[in-house]
Structure 1
Amino acid sequence: MATQQKKEQEQDINQLRKVRREKLIDLQSNGKNPFELTKFDVTCHAMDIKENYEEMEGKQVTLAGRIMQKRVMGKASFCNVLDQSGNIQSYVARDSIGEEAYKDFKKMDIGDIVGVEGEVFKTKTGEISVHASSVKLLSKSLQILPEKYHGLTNTDMRYRQRYVDLIMNPDARDTFIKRSKILSAIRRYLDGQGFLEVETPMLVSNAGGAAARPFETHFNALDEDFKLRISLELYLKRLIVGGLERVYEIGRVFRNEGLDTRHNPEFTLMELYQAYTDYNGMMDLTEKLYRHVAQEVLGTTTITYNGVEMDLGKPFERITMVDAVKKYAGVDWNEVETLEQARALAREKHVEFEDRHKKGDILSLFFEEFAEEHLIQPTFVMDHPIEISPLTKKKPENPEYVERFEFFMNGWEMANAYSELNDPIDQRERFKAQEELLAQGDEEANTTDEDFLNALEIGMPPTGGIGFGIDRMCMLLTDSAAIRDVLLFPTMKSLDK
């Protein structure tokens, strides 16, 4: 029964498409090709009129958008026009636009893009509207939009046809407008703090700066293998060496990993580096930046995600990784002296590990297993083990740990920051250890970057650096359930497979 119903719906849609193409042919044969017009001067948008009605009443306006509803009633009709800001009603009367133009209007379809000129007024029912003096067809829609009351409900199709999703779902449109505002607010804040926005290569011979598996490609002109960057770090640090004391970049990075609600193989990362500060300076900057962006974009520092309230207005909690494991796993890592003790504790607590994992790796596994999910309110987790931090300065008083923090909200890692390692000899040893892990089968280990080591030998000042996951930030600030909801065109499996 369902199959038959679906078949009938497809037949109906195909018939409607056929009718639209016939209308197009008729328009073109009568010298009214809807694709010939090259411009249309717009003076205002729907929300401009609605939000400023007292000033706009009685004024002539020109707006453009897509017909979303249409009611033809003899000599007068109504249509709703959707532009970027929202919907507005237009009253279209034969006596106002002319008999020939009115006939053309009646033939227009839902989805057609029109330009409307007219006077702002309120109908008898109190709806703010535009009394049209002219309606022009600017582009003919040859496809059928989803049923208007339910929008585009197929989640997979929403991601594949984002252009339809933006038309049919106001929440989707609002999310991406907020995303744009979030990026603008970040840039304004950092520019105001004296940072320079820069651009660094995406196509690199050595993809370092993070623990991730890169995408690989071949550059035919040079007959050399290249990789897509997994991080922004190593090139930005070169700029610190070059004397640019505060730099940041917002750009796409690529990691050859799985897909889930918080991961996409290409995503937006922001990294910034500031000379003459450390990870404490990065904590202060992160706290102020998040607070600023929330206030500017949302008008509040209290946000709600999936029904859970998070307060960005209060000082963010700061806790070491060792203390977090003690608090949530009941294990005091300060009492763990050997690798064998760490492995025994892991077996006791059912924490899976690999033979290559050292004591610090197992501490990190304990943290992921027991602590992360509890970090709902803004929290800095500090002082990571050296084994998982190859680019970070050691803590002078305890060289088993480094001056690093990860920023958590909602149980998610939102940012990762270091007091950057600027000792080229130490850095070479860290790279060597990473090469050994690579040889043991760790596909996420870094390889030695000789040019970066050369830059460090030139001399890099004490520096604080941080990487922000922009997509996760947008998820939290827009209350979006999945990363695909904040990516305009997320990675999707081919329909052919």
Structure 2
Amino acid sequence: MELTDQEITRRDNLAKIRALGVDPFPAATFPVTHLASEILALVEEDSEGKVTNLQDVTLAGRIMSQRIMGKAAFANLQDSSGRIQLYVSRDDIAPGENKSLYNDLFKKYLDLGDFIGVKGFVFKTRTGEISVHVKEFTFLGKSLRPLPSPKKDEAGNVHDEFKDPELRYRMRYVDLTVNPKVKEVFRKRSKLITAMRQFLDDLDLMEVETPVLQAIHGGASARPFKTHHNTLDVPMYLRIANELYLKRLIIGGFDGVYEFAKIFRNEGMDRTHNPEFTMVEFYVAYKDYNWMMDTCEQLLEHSVRAINGQAQTTVEVDGKTIDFKGPYRRLTMADAIREYTGEDISEADETELRAIAGRLDVHVDKTMGRGKLIDELFGERVEAQLIQPTFITDYPVEMSPLTKKHRSKEGLVERFELIVNGKELANAYSELNDPIDQRARFEEQLQLAQRGDDEAMAMDEDFLRALEYGMPPTAGIGIGIDRLVMLLTGQKSIQEVLFFPQMKPER
């Protein structure tokens, strides 16, 4: 392991700290009373500008800058909420004859990025900056690598910023430290999930957990990750969906269930796709896709208000204002293709669809059946044009092997997708509960697999057996959490809303 000069210096400082009898990695609890942002927000002053409250505070965090002035020093401390200035005097933190706590530890061996704890009182400097006058100082953790340190040249240009995306995603721990605004994206993500969970709980749905390792990769059309169970000596798959297990619970007698689930699909990576992603799926007995559209509108409006404030249902994305207040536009897939391309696919067979694809310059291949062809036409020529929340409804039966056939439109199913800013955000059905029809749909998927479609669904005999015991009419939906967070935080890349996105191995 080759060390830089700075890393060698930090290790030397580590040894010197130990030589002073100070543990550089103490295990003791440090009782924090305030965060930096709380101190800045709570300060009260008298008529002379003196701080009248918060006389005693205890806080902890990283040292991000130091300015030593002999027997006193200023430093910036950063905690999870932000930064605050510290004023440190030698005679305060090292009273008596032994001044090594200040002269050696604080002045010489303390490096930027080290963790410390301080106790003191809040005051205002002559320049008007709220600061903490430190009375006690505790060393809490040594940083053996230097943090990136941006610098400005004489022309005002900034150098050495930690902005390279690959480095930021690979070393998120550094990104969060030196680019603290990144934390706000993840705070909003957490707040979103909390708001959605509250909404679903208020619907009296039960949160559940289903298997990540599955013997059959069912519930969606996607390529799975394959692994092996050594004890059972059988192949297993990371789930591409949790749908079939949630339906088993409806069959078992629960009226409504939901799960925030990690899903794994062995597919491409780009700005809107990561092989590991998060979805919330919920299923409610005795409901259909019309009820689910209404509920989806209410859920998303509730969630956006929870993040942005109760009065605001809009977000700004790429210079566009997107409004999540319902009702949303509802458009059948055939009508959407007709409106945006001028082509009528409602009665077209596979041959005619290939001809339409040729006219629209949409690439298709021989493995695609009628459903995949229609999906490709919609994805290439329509989806990107749907900016405001839009429900695309009534899909061809070939595209939806788990969906109930439309009650009045031959050849279609009761399904919708919610499209926002040109991307799918949610997918929902009136769930297929006829086991004979479901078996036939699975068999059609097997035929597609034989034609070379590696995303075709597998036959799931246990799920068919469960359906044969009877499932009530049910509505189900899956909502992509990562894409929703992207929209609500104005991020253009899914990697920006994942703490640890998938990366190529580091060389």
Q: Same fold (TM over 0.5)?
A: yes
Deviations 1:110-140 (A, max 9, x none): 1000101111222222222111111211001
Whether 1:22 and 2:12 are equivalent positions in the alignment is yes
- Structure 2 distance, partners of 1:289, 1:92, is 50
Deviations 1:385-414 (A, max 9, x none): 111100001112113111101111110100
- Structure 2 distance, partners of 1:337, 1:214, is 31
The one-letter amino acid of 2:9's match is V
Can you give the 5+ residue segments of structure 2 that lack an aligned partner in the other structure? 46-51, 152-159
Q: 1:313 aligns with which of 314, 317, 325?
A: 325
Whether 1:138 and 2:143 are equivalent positions in the alignment is no
Corresponding residue of 1:7: none
Q: Counterpart of 2:410 in 1: which secondary structure?
A: strand
Corresponding residue of 1:54: 44
The one-letter amino acid of 2:299's match is L
CA contact (8 A) 2:297 2:326 kept: no
- Structure 2 distance, partners of 1:121, 1:302, is 40
Whether 1:402 and 2:398 are equivalent positions in the alignment is no
- Structure 2 distance, partners of 1:36, 1:483, is 38
Corresponding residue of 1:123: 125
The one-letter amino acid of 2:470's match is G
Corresponding residue of 1:270: 280
State the Cα distance separating 1:160 from its structure 2 match. Answer: 0.7
Correspondence 1:350-429 to 2 at 5 A:
350-429=361-440
Corresponding residue of 1:85: 81
Q: 1:205 aligns with which of 193, 215, 240?
A: 215
Q: Which moved more, 1:407-416 or 1:167-176?
A: 167-176
Deviations 1:218-272 (A, max 9, x none): 1110111111000010000000111111111012111111111111111111111
State the Cα distance separating 1:157 from its structure 2 match. Answer: 0.8
Correspondence 1:120-199 to 2 at 5 A:
120-149=122-151, 151-199=161-209
State the Cα distance separating 1:356 from its structure 2 match. Answer: 4.3
Corresponding residue of 2:154: none
The one-letter amino acid of 2:239's match is R
Judged with a 3 Å threshold, the aligned counterparts in structure 2 of structure 1 residues 225 and 284 are, in CA distance, closer, same or farther, namely same
CA contact (8 A) 2:387 2:420 kept: yes
- Structure 2 distance, partners of 1:161, 1:41, is 29
State the Cα distance separating 1:314 from its structure 2 match. Answer: 4.5
- Structure 2 distance, partners of 1:374, 1:455, is 41
- Structure 1 distance, partners of 2:502, 2:471, is 38
- Structure 2 distance, partners of 1:275, 1:469, is 22
Judged with a 3 Å threshold, the aligned counterparts in structure 2 of structure 1 residues 140 and 337 are, in CA distance, closer, same or farther, namely closer
- Compute the TM-score of the two structures, normalised by the length of structure 2: 0.92
Corresponding residue of 2:308: 298
Deviations 1:84-107 (A, max 9, x none): 111111111123222333222112
CA contact (8 A) 1:151 1:169 kept: no
The one-letter amino acid of 1:122's match is K
The one-letter amino acid of 1:101's match is L
The one-letter amino acid of 1:166's match is L
Corresponding residue of 2:155: none
- Structure 2 distance, partners of 1:328, 1:179, is 34
Q: Which moved more, 1:46-55 or 1:197-206?
A: 46-55
Can you give the 5+ residue segments of structure 1 that lack an aligned partner in the other structure? 1-10
Q: Counterpart of 1:258 in 2: which secondary structure?
A: coil
Q: Which moved more, 1:26-35 or 1:454-463?
A: 26-35
Whether 1:490 and 2:501 are equivalent positions in the alignment is yes
CA contact (8 A) 1:24 1:33 kept: no
The one-letter amino acid of 2:254's match is L
Judged with a 3 Å threshold, the aligned counterparts in structure 2 of structure 1 residues 58 and 367 are, in CA distance, closer, same or farther, namely closer
Whether 1:114 and 2:124 are equivalent positions in the alignment is no
CA contact (8 A) 1:97 1:135 kept: yes
State the Cα distance separating 1:297 from its structure 2 match. Answer: 1.2
Percent identity over the alignment? 50
Corresponding residue of 1:341: 352
Corresponding residue of 2:478: 467
The one-letter amino acid of 2:438's match is Q
Q: 2:334 aligns with which of 301, 317, 322?
A: 322
Q: Counterpart of 2:330 in 1: which secondary structure?
A: strand
- Structure 2 distance, partners of 1:167, 1:337, is 56
Q: Counterpart of 2:187 in 1: which secondary structure?
A: helix
- Compute the TM-score of the two structures, normalised by the length of structure 1: 0.94
CA contact (8 A) 2:404 2:432 kept: yes
- Structure 2 distance, partners of 1:254, 1:212, is 9
Q: 1:481 aligns with which of 492, 500, 507?
A: 492
Q: Counterpart of 1:65 in 2: which secondary structure?
A: strand
CA contact (8 A) 2:125 2:131 kept: yes
Q: 1:432 aligns with which of 439, 443, 447?
A: 443
- Structure 2 distance, partners of 1:359, 1:154, is 43
CA contact (8 A) 2:124 2:130 kept: yes
CA contact (8 A) 2:43 2:54 kept: no
State the Cα distance separating 1:333 from its structure 2 match. Answer: 2.5
RMSD: 1.6
- Structure 2 distance, partners of 1:65, 1:360, is 56
Q: Which moved more, 1:314-323 or 1:94-103?
A: 94-103
Corresponding residue of 1:105: 106
The one-letter amino acid of 1:228's match is L
The one-letter amino acid of 1:321's match is M
State the Cα distance separating 1:30 from its structure 2 match. Answer: 2.3
CA contact (8 A) 1:329 1:366 kept: no
Q: Counterpart of 1:146 in 2: which secondary structure?
A: coil
CA contact (8 A) 2:283 2:476 kept: yes
Q: Counterpart of 1:239 in 2: which secondary structure?
A: helix
Q: Counterpart of 2:453 in 1: which secondary structure?
A: coil
Corresponding residue of 1:4: none
State the Cα distance separating 1:415 from its structure 2 match. Answer: 0.6
The one-letter amino acid of 1:139's match is G
Deviations 1:181-219 (A, max 9, x none): 111111111111111111000000001111100000111
State the Cα distance separating 1:337 from its structure 2 match. Answer: 4.3
CA contact (8 A) 1:196 1:247 kept: yes
CA contact (8 A) 2:386 2:422 kept: yes
